[in-house]
Amino acid sequence: MYLSRIRVTLRPSILDPQGKAVEHAIGTLGVGAVHGVRMGKYIEMKVEGATEAEARKVTEEVCRKLLANPVMEDFQYDIAKI
């Protein structure tokens, strides 16, 4: 079994109002200079598969078909045997 850790992020050209709101809120905390905040999704899932290649294929397909909107989002993932 493999653990897939997936990060779905907005493409750089897409505006991120949620990120802007968080950036503003961080400013009010007074903890230091933070900018370029971008919000994304993080997904963990367990994939049954005999090989890492198989788990990678399932993860890739789930990302492309379900988790990421290909018009606005990119995805990255890493896979670890568990």
Among residues 15, 31, 53, 71, the one that binds a copy of itself under rule CB under 8 A = 31
Cα distance between residue 60 and residue 38, in whole Å: 23
Cα distance between residue 1 and residue 49, in whole Å: 6
Residue 23 as a binder of a copy of itself (CB under 8 A): the answer is yes
**Closer residue to a copy of itself in complex, CB, 52/61:** 61
Q: Which two tokens stand for residue 13?
A: 């050209």
Evaluate whether 47 touches 2 at the Cβ level (below 8 Å). Answer: yes
Residues that bind a copy of itself (CB under 8 A): 5, 7-9, 19, 22-23, 25-26, 29, 31-49, 54, 57-58, 61-62, 65-67
